[in-house]
Structures are given as C-alpha cells and as structure tokens.
Structure 1
Amino acid sequence: MWSHLVLRASLPVLHLTLSLPLCLRRPFISESACFCCCLSGEYQDSDGECRACDATCLKCTGPRREDCISCGSSRALEEGHCVAECAKGKYRSGGQCHLCDHTCATCKDAGPANCTSCDTDKFGVERYLHQGQCLDACPETFYHTSKRTCQPCSENCRLCSSPNHCLQCNSSFYVSDGQCVKLECGEGEVEDPDYEECMPCEEGCRKCVLYNPRHCLSCIEGFYNFQDGCYKNCPAKTYSVEEEMTCAPCEDDCMSCDEHECYWCEADLLLSEGQCVSVCPDGFYGNEDLNECEECHPDCATCSGPENGDCLSCEEGRTLANGECVPEREVCPIKTFLNDYGVCEDCHPSCEFCSGPEKNQCTKCGKGRFLTMQQTCVSKCSVGFFASQLSGVCEACPQGCSLCADALRCSRCQSSRRAPLFLQNGQCVTECVRSGMCPVAA
C-alpha cells in the first residue's frame, strides 16, 4: 500500500517534467521552468543547448576564437581573444591585456615608470629606456644606444657618445684619448674647469679654491694670511702677527697700528696716546696737518696751538691776556700791553687789546671794528673778506667771491675776461647750472 502511495505522489512530478523542454547537462527544475547551467569551456546556443567554446577560451559567448570573455591562468583576454602573450604596447594584469603608457614600446605595468623597451612614440618622438622610463633624451653621464636604451658613460665622464668616447669630464679631470684623466696641478695652481688646464692662484697662495683663484686656503712662506687672501705686507687697518703669519685687524677708526697702539687715524679723528679721538684732552691741541694731539705750551691749561700766545684757558694763579697766560699781578688794563720792561704801555688807539704800540699789533678790536690778517682794526673789511660779528675778525669769503655776507653766501664774484665767474645760488661758478638764470659778476 505504501508503494502505491509513493507512486501516486510522484506521478504529478513526472508528468510536469515530461511536459517541459528538454534540459541537458546539468538541469534543475523550478515550479514553472527548466534551467541549464553550461560548464566552463561551453556556451548555450539559441536552442538552449551547451556547446564547446574555442579551445583557447575559459568562457565564451560563441564558438569563435574572438568570442572569449575569460581565459585560463596561462592566457590573457585581449579584444575577445585569449592570447599567450599580450601584443606589443600592452601589459597583462587581472587576466586581461591593458595599454602601456604612450611613452613605452613595451611595459610590465601601468604608468610611465614601468616601461621595458622604447621606440618612437605615437607623436614621432624617439625615446630611450632609462630606469623604467622612456625619455626623449638620456640624462647627463649616459649615452644613447642603437637598442633605444641609455647606458652609463665611463667613470668621471659627464658627456659621451659611447663608453670609450668621452666628450666632457667632471671637474678636476680632462679628456685624453676618449677617457677622463685626473688633472694634477702643482703648488700655487688650481684647475681651470673651463679650459681643462691648471691656472695660477693669486700671488702668495699655496692652495686656492676652484672657480676663485683669489680665495686662498693657505699661503706660501713669507706671506701673511688675512680674510682668504695672502699678503706680502699686511693691508691697511691690520697688523702682522709674526708667530702665526696672519694679519689682525686694528680698531675700527685706526688706519695703522700694532698690537699695542694706533699710529694713524681715519680722517676727522686725532691720534692721542695711541687712541683715535674726536676732541683732544686738556693740555693738548689738534694738529690738523699731522692729525695728532700735541701738547700745549706749559703756561696753558687749554690751547689752540703750541705757542704761549695760543692759550684758551689758564691754570689757577694765572689769567688770560691776549692769548697768553700771565701771573694775575702782571695783567694790564684794557687798551694797554705789558712791555719788555714789565710796564703797562698804551696800545694804538684803534686797538682794544694789543701786543705792541703800533696799529698793526692789535690782537682784538673794540665794538664796531674788526681785526684783519695784518693785525689792524678796521670798520669795514677789504674785498674778499666779511666782518664776522661772532669772532670780531675779517674772515675770508668763499673762493672767487669779492663780496659776501658770510662764509657760505656770496653776493658778488671776482671776475675777469680771461676767467669769468658767475653768481648762482650764493656761489661763484665758472658755468651756470640749468636751474635758472645767473648774472655775470661785475
């Protein structure tokens, strides 16, 4: 009875199977259809039957070689074909062939740095293989080969056309029979990289710097080293240190010195006891000819010159009279002078102070009068001089000036037909400057 029930139960299923289309190979049944799954190396034709792919294909859409859609591990898919090797200009990855970078002739992976060979690219540029890249020119120290590769030049060669034909060497080397030979320079010489020969260093150098023969690294015997140079005698503002054969700098304002003191100062400064000063100490005056501070006369505390009549101030117990420091008891009243007999004698009436009785022995004038170079007192200074209210002296006008108000402003020029002068902006000039008109001086 149980077998009958089983048979009856299976009859609907059997009936359903017989009523559907024929399924081949690996059929499976659903409630309404029969589905087929073809094996690898097969495809399903229009009748639903599984047919064999081309022998090169792992999977395909048809029977032809170009119908492949995937390949076995030993082949790669390229435009529907399963090939053992990708075409030139392509590389294999993920079971497929991909285009190389446009610079590569062949490659092993994507990008311009994975080339394995080079040729003329699609733009017509000739390329050469160097470290995985196809370059339009080989880098320095490499040369082009007929196989489109870059090969290294010989040692110390910067530019070559073959391994045995160097055209240019590295610094300190020169070309000889296609090879680079070390340039050996003697004492006092350095390599000339432009002409591949030795050139002399600056005088006194034992060794100097490449590209700068004036920069000395060491000096020959008898020369002093100072600031990258060699000197037979130490330059201005330095002094020699014999033990080290070097030059040491003086103080900033000193032009000539040794290790102990300065001997000569820069302009506008005065030498005082081995130092450079702008003002001399008390008891000294500035000698502008020698640029030195020199001692005043012993009678003076301060002075403007070396004589006893150049005093500006006096020591205690003495008083200033006509530039001299005299004992206070020897001072004569105004308009008198002390004669050789120690007696106060009258000055010339034109003098306020004097050194003698004559009118050309005045040393200072009264109010409204001015002392000339001839030691006379006048109310009006001569041509070429002006009356200085500050000093009470007739002081010289600027050069070429016959009439002036002070030492800076001229109002009339000294002029002649042979040497005409023109007044412009308070100065006497030989030619007018284009800043305005200037009249000819009378």
Structure 2
Amino acid sequence: MSRPATISQLAALSRATLPPPSLPVPRTPRRSAARTFTMSASAPAPTTPLGFVLALSTFALCQPSPARSVFTNHWAVRIPGGRGDADRVALRYGYRNLGQIGGLENHYHFHHSRVVRRSAFAIKGSHSFIHMDPKVEWVQQQVVKSRVKRHARNDPNFIHFNDPKWSNMWYIHCGDKNNRCRSEMNILSAWQRGYSGRNVVITILDDGIERNHPDLAQNFDQLASYDVNGNDHDPTPRYDSSNENKHGTRCAGEVAAVANNSHCIVGIAFNARIGGIRMLDGDVTDVVEAKSLGIRPDYIDIYSASWGPDDDGKTVDGPGPLAKQAFEVGIKKGRKGLGSIFVWASGNGGRQGDHCSCDGYTNSIYTISVSSTTENGNKPWYLEVCSSTLATTYSSGEFYDRKIVTTDLHQRCTDGHTGTSVSAPMVAGVIALTLEANPLITWRDVQHLLVKTSRPVHLKASDWKTNAAGHRVSHLYGFGMVDAEAMVVEAKKWRSVPAQHTCTKISDRRTRYIRAEQSLNTTITSTGCRDNPEQQVAYLEHVVVRVLVVHPRRGDLEISLISPSGTRSQLLAKRLFDYSNEGFRNWEFMTVHCWGERAEGQWTLEISDSPSQLRNPEVLGKLKEWTLILYGTSEHPYHSHGSQHSRTRMLEIPSPGKELRNPAPSPSAPELEEEEEEEEYNGVPNSLSTLLTHSGPCHHECGDQGCDGPDADHCLNCIHFSLGNLKTGRTCVSHCPLGYFEDSGARRCRRCHRGCEKCVGQGVSECRSCRRGLYFYAGENTCLESCPGGFYADESRSQQVKAPWGVKFQVLPEILCCQFLAGMTCVPECANGTFFHLEEMKCSPCHHSCSSCTGPGKEECIQCARDFLQQEWRCVPECSLGYYAGEVAGFIQRMCRKCEENCLNCEGPGTTCTKCKEGYNLVSRTCILNATCNNADEVFCEMVKSNRLCEKKLFRQFCCRTCLMAGL
C-alpha cells in the first residue's frame, strides 16, 4: 500500500511540474549552452586555469532550465463530416464542441472540462481514444504559446507627461515651437485631400478594447469585435490594479479615436470603424490565434497586431498550422476576395540582440511588418533588425524623446505609449485612409503601395542601399517612412498588379559543413520558372529561403542571401542569448529587399559561424538542405499596355483651343487640390477615330464612338459622364465624385466652387456640403472659413494648423454654423438620459438602465443609471450567476466582476466561492476538481486542513487527490 505524500513531497512535486511563475513559458524546449559544451567531453581536455573552470561552472548554474510545455484542456480537431458529426464525436468522448475555428472549414475547437486546465504533460484517459475514431482526420491538444505585447518597458529615467492634447501629437503636425518638429508621415496632407477612413473597418488583435471610452465609443463596431478568451461578443478588457490589459485600448486610439469631441486625441483614421478581438488575456494557443485571425473576414478590412513570440534574443517561433491556414484563407477569401490586410509590429528585442527574422509572424509574406524610429530619425533602443520589414513610423526612443499620445483604460488618455506596438496601428490607420481612396485594392496592392511611396527622409541607418529596381531599402526601416498623402494619391489612380506567381527551387540534398570562422557559400540558379507560365516569376516581390540546419549553438550563425542583381539581404544576425542546439528545422526566412528586381539568375546563400567562447569550435554545424521560393509576377507590375496607350492618345488628340493653366492656391480659401481648367470633349476627329478604334470590346461606360482600348479611360465618348481633362486624362464614369456636379446636358463632371464637397452648380452659393475643415452656412449655401455673426461654431472642438503655403485650415470634419453639433449635423442639446437620433433628427431616450448612452439599446450605455451595475457591456439591476458586485479603480459606478474560475457563484474576489461548477467540489470556499482516492491518511489530512493548504492555489489539486474523499 502506498504511503500518503508529505508536505515537503508536495512542494517538491509542485516545483518539478510547474514552471517558475516569473519566467515566460516558450513553446519550444531549450537546452542550455553549458550542456552543449559538455557534449564534447570525450575530446582531449586542454590545460585549463582554475578561474576559467569556476567561471564556466557559474555560467552553467546561471543558465535557465529548459522550459516545459504547458498542455491545456482544449483540442483542435479536423472532422470532414460537418458540424453534426463533430458534435457526435465530441459527445462520444466527453468533449464539448465550441464551434468552427475561425474561417477554417471542418476544423473544430473541442474542450474537455474533466481534464486539468493546465498541465506539464499530456494527460491520458478515455478522452484520448478520439485519436482512433475513424471520423477524425487530425487532432491536436493545444499547448500554451508565449506571446508578448510590443510596448517598450518603462525606462527608469522616464519622465512621465500626462497632457493628452492635440498639441502633443508631434508625429502628425508641427505645433510645438520649442522642439524640432518632424511630421514626414504627411497625415495632415491626406486629411486635406478629404480622407479620414470612412467606411473602412479595422480590428485590434490584443487584450481587448474599452468600447465605452469617450474617444472610441462613436467609432466602435460591435461586428468587428469578439472575446476569444471569454467566448462572447464583448471585447472589454479585464480590469486589475496594475492596468495590465491597457495595450489594445491604446492601439485602438491611435487608429480611430474620434475627432472633434473635446477628448484626448485624433485618430489617424478618425472616421473609420474600430473593433477589438480580445485574445491575449488568457492561454494563447494555435486555436486562439486561428480564431482571432479568421473573425468576419468579409466585414473586417484590416487586422492590426502588436504582439508576437518572446523578444528575448533566443526564441524562434511563429504561427502554428491552424494560424498559417487562417492567414492563407484571409488573403484568398477576405474582403470578398481582395484579401484581408494583416499589419504586424516588428518586435522590441533590440536590447537582447533579437532578430525579427526569428519571428514567424513578421517574417510572413502575408503580413505587413512595421518598424519604428524616434522623432529625430534615430534607431530606438528596442528596435530589431531584419530583411522582412516593409515600412516605418514614428514611436518612442530614449527617456528624453517624446512618446505617443493615445487613449488609455478608465476613459483616460496617456502620452506614454511606446515601442513597435505604436507603429503597427499607425500603419493600419494610414492603410484605412488608402482604402477609402480606393476600396478595390488587394492585399498585395497595399504592399506595393508601401514599397513605392515610403521614403528614407531623415532616418539614420548605415545600411541604406538602392536595389536593382531603384528602391532604397534598409534592414532597420524597410523602404522608409510611411507617407499617407502619397499612399492616397497613388491609390486613387492605382491599377491592381498582375496575379501572384510562385517559383520554387530546391538545392541538391548534399550535406554541407559550416566551419568555424569561415563562410559557406552555396548557390541555386533559377530561371524564374519561365518554362511554366502558371509559375513564372520575372519581377520579384517576396523571396523566401527555407533552411534545414543542424548546429550546436544556433546563436553563432549569420545568414545572408545575395540576389542575381547583387542585392545582399541579411536573413539572420548573431544572437548572443540563443544557446539552442536545435538549429533551424525547415525555418523560413523572408526578404523584401529584392522587390522589383529580376528573378532569373544565380542566387547565393552565405552562412558564417562565429563560435562563442563557451562552445567547442570543433563541433561543426551542417546545412542539410535549402529551398528558394520566389514570389512575384510574370509581367511588370506597373507597366501595362493600357496605361502606355492612354498616354500616347492624350498626346495625339488636338486641343479644342483653350489654354491649360494651373492657378496657384488662393490665400483666401483653403484649396485642398490643385484645380485645373476644364476642356470640352466631343470625341476625336474622324481622321483619328479610324486609327484609334479598338478591335476588342469597349468598357461598359463608353459611348457610340467606340474606344481605343478596353478601359474606361480609353473611351472616345461616354454614355453617362466624362471626368477629367486633356492634361490629366479623361475617364468615363457613371456618377461624378465629390467636388464635382453632374452636367447632364454636356454629359460632363464639372468642378464645384472651391471649398464645396457637394454642389448643384459652380456658383459660390450653390454648395450643399463643404470640404473638411470649412464651415457650412446653410442660410446662403456657402462654405466659409468662419461662421458669420450670430452663429456659433465650437472652436474648442477644432484645431487650426498652417499649410505649407501659409493658409490656415481646419483638419477636422466639416463644421456647421449653428448652435449645437452632433458629428457634422446641427442638433439641439440633449439632456442626460437621452441621445441625439440622427435618423429621426431628435433627442431620444436611452434604455432605462443607462444614464448616458450612444444609442437606444441596453448594450449602448456609456454610464449606468442609479441602482444598476455594469456587467460586461450592459447595465443590470443585479449581478448574474458567476459574478459578484465590486468597485473598480477609476470608475464611479459599481461593476459586476467574474468569480474565480470554476466558481458558479461567489461573494467576492479570490477564494470566496459559495457554489461550484459541475465536476468540482467546494473545499474551504475553493472549487477543486473531483478526484477519487483510496489512500487518504487522517493525520496527514488534518495537517492539510489545519494549515489551510487547500486554499493555496499551488496545492489545491494535490490536497483534493489525497483528502477530498475523506471529507476534509
């Protein structure tokens, strides 16, 4: 008969099975460098000084022990028979089917409540027989993956400023007279052109967003939100005393904080819709990531993520098989086939010597990897270097550098947002402006636009180079600083690039030794698959190198790729803290430095090994295999036949006689675009018509005179309206855009008066709405720089900035001259308990549970009425089962907070359970898993009870297994 465990045995067992709470739990087990060194003990031992032996012993003792995998009670299962078969299989083995995993067909998320939630090993039992079920094609128990948020940790010398105003947004406008101002991202200029992200939907993959934040509530989109951690539709973060879950709310404010509402900041895309996917506040598994990446891909345009594997300089990790599928499904089916846009922060491991090529998220061709720079263009201390970075934005730097202002938890603001976490949402906001300019661009078009428009400006880096296609590129900053104005201008006239092709070439499978202090050079000669039209790559986009390397200390390796044109990409730099002996097992490195170059020719892979002092240099690494994967197009992405033909036609058609001119902007009005004289267009002379007529089908907007090409700008006359002039080129459209009105008699789009966004004629008093920043005076249908006497414009809700030519203009949405405003609509002032209903044009009552609200529903409360408590996203008269009433710092109202896990009901936080969920027993006000034991010792159990060990989380399950059946 076995003896019961003692207290010391329990403590020892707990240390053996649980990782230290202060250390992250990486997914891949590691071996210490000390162990790698002792593997060569069979070699003749040189004479070694005693001091070196002591130092080596100390180093070995200080190495972290290999981290253990943490297994959860969640499984991913592939069952091709549909939801019904999946439910039956789940029931047969005691699982609960939580539904399809994101957009992955036939993949289901199973949960088993009777398996320990977190375990150091895979627990076997009757549930394990699911592996043998004939309906199950594949099953994977989910393992916890370490994912860290990419804000820079506070520097001890950091001086905190808490002044969240427009004047602090130095990275958007130059309003600070005491500092050298940089605003090369040209966001103001994009706003000038009328773009603010309208009708674009962005979601933040993070720890949740505060949906009722005054600067987010108006733009919050419930359909773009989900709580993957809690399996519900409320992305509100979990509040605690440390405000740990502030990250998502901060990122959301950068993108879509509401403009002109007297609170905090202005988002880059201040008219976009913003949502949040709460997925980092819990165990992050492959299922969790795949679900998050696949939520409503036909509704959400942009997914922004500022997190990734540990930036510790030793981790090599990336998306699992399900998350990889989710990326692929997103770019193929998202946005109705145009492709979801995934934006990723490049990483904050600079101080640890990390390299973002070891992060499989930023290293993916499907993500836009974004870097950071300080306000003066210096490299931030946290920045990682790699060849997959596409572009850069401003962020924080040293303690004396200014940081980023944004929204914060508890309806507050902060001016302390830092790291590459800042940069991904900024680029997401710029892409939202771009999608408003042209909603039909694809996920690859967006990457091409970033490559074409980003600029080195004042970014300081020693490795700036010009590749063979003429692009300036750096391992620190990619193609340079994002330029919002250039993005929207290019997008407006953009034609989608040709289809993506993939050409793969595998090296011969001959093992090559990597010798210390030498370079291994191996080559692959590629034809760009020119013999296969479906795979041919003539012009490059992404280049991927997949390697199988065996090595005693992975961090000693450096890897570079040299293109046929001579462009060198550093795929991997030395990593001081990477002591793993696992090498690279079919790891994929990616570079964008060859973008636009020709694919054909000899590619050279260069690997060098610089052994650290604590490694035996006689143990050689091996390159067993490498594969070159080229992504690109078979024809030039920008030189299409149609565009060249169109330019030729514009030169050949004679002008009807009016002189073209480009007037300078008038100082009396904030003209937002260069205005050009219009020319009448009545087709072409018959002598030219015969020469220019196109033999194929014309565009559906072309008139009876035919065309000289297939597109709308090749028409010789139009069915509906002609837009443009001889200098800029004409195109046929069905409706005239903003800034123009339809002249039906002449079938022309004619310009409105300066300042008018919509109009019925060219006169100054024929406006119907104004361009952004002007005041609409309805009495005379005019657009003014300020309201006339007797009319009110809320100047505190708008900010004036000076354009380069000296004209002041408003950068916020159109402001009306009236008494009160709601957005861009004049409204009466609504009392507490009511909101302005834009459709009914009156103040309507909130739900009876709300004291203030954004709409009539019970889920649209900003603040709860008296005697109501806030639970999740609604106000309730009393907390429901599984919640308790409590105070939250920073909130004036009481809230319902979740009981501890496994409690069905409780009286407060911690061990105050009063009722347990099924499968758990109540022991000392704590719910612990049911267990059967036959060896309970009464004396031992009395000791457990007297020391109240079962109340300590570490010992609960051990106490249960030994004492529960004894009734103690």
**TM-score (normalizing by structure 1):** 0.30
Q: Structure 2 length as normaliser, TM-score? A: 0.15
**By percentage of residues, which structure has more strand?**
1
User: Comparing both structures, which one devotes a greater share of its residues to helix?
Assistant: 2
Name the larger-Rg structure.
Answer: 1
